[in-house]
């Protein structure tokens, strides 16, 4: 995965999860709207999209100066248990990677 700056409005996915049959695309998500955000540190995360529908999201950085509200996940409760487990594993890896990156920045 690449480090991004911006929001989903760029319409470019950053990673894909696939079992060879289905594909789940990861789009960067941010509280930045049209590059107009008064917060110095916007919330950041990823949205998981399958068949053009949101099936999950992870927020690894909270908005605001202190950055609370981080490490938040959302899974569509209609997903089967195997898909939930796969998404949970991917989200955990993202949170660990981003936490390590943020530690290097401090």
Report d(CA 69, CA 46) in Å as an integer.
14
Domain boundaries defined on the chain: 8-105
pLDDT tens column, 20-54: 888 999 998 887 765 555 556 778 899 999 999 99
pLDDT tens column, 1-25: 544 444 444 457 888 888 888 899 9
The pLDDT of residue 77 is above 90: yes
pTM for the structure as a whole: 0.76
Which one has a higher pLDDT value, 4 or 55?
Answer: 55
- What's the Cα-to-Cα distance from 2 to each of 21, 26, 44, rounded to whole Å? 24, 11, 14
pLDDT band at 80 (very low <50, low <70, confident <90, very high): very high
């Amino acid at each position: 995965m690449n480090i991004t700056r911006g929001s989903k409005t760029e319409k470019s996915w950053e990673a894909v999860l696939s079992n060879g049959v289905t594909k789940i695309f990861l789009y960067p998500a941010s509280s930045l709207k049209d590059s107009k955000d008064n917060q110095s540190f916007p919330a950041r995360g990823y949205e998981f999209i399958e068949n053009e529908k949101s099936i999950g999201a992870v927020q690894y950085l909270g908005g605001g100066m202190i950055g609370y509200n981080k490490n938040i996940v959302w899974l569509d409760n209609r997903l089967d248990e195997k898909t939930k487990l796969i998404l949970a594993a991917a989200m955990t890896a993202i949170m660990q990677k981003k936490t390590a990156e943020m530690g290097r920045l401090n």
